[in-house]
Amino acid sequence: MSRLLQKITFFITSLFLQKENVTSRVNSLNISETIILNVMDRLSDFENNQGYLKPMTLHKLAKKLKTNPKYLSKIINNHYEKNFSSYINDLRINYILKELEVDESLKKCTVKSLTKKLGFGNTESFAKAFKKHTGINPSNYLNTLKNN
């Protein structure tokens, strides 16, 4: 009986320590686990519904997700290991790269029209984000697609 009790005690202690490690990582944000999970769930919906294609700021998104900007920023920094701007820009660039593969009409668009379609504030910020992500500026990328 004492051996069984030892095994049960060991098992419960192991579970508690695992939960403690996860909780301490989550609690390093100083945000409740429930709030983090709710925000992550809403962020997933935001991504699936392509909300990033509209002009977006941290404050607008926080309001849309029914949280505050500080929490949202911390959660994005922790979960995605990037700041808000990089998070939104990466979503937009990944989207347009996939769309350019399947939609021939997009290959004929100007950089300015793609900028507007993706929700960027100006062509310069789009070009900078695109080049950071792909290593090539958008006009050169579009030209290579047109020539193929």
Asked whether residue 13 carries a pLDDT value surpassing 90, the answer given is no
Sign of the Cα torsion 115, 116, 119, 123 reads: positive
Neighbours of 86 (CB within 10 A): 16
Give the pLDDT of residue 65: 95
Q: At what angle do helices 69-80 and 84-102 cross, to 10 degrees?
A: 60
- Enter the pTM of the model: 0.78
Q: What is the pLDDT of residues 15-49, one digit of tens each?
A: 555 554 444 445 567 888 888 999 999 999 999 99
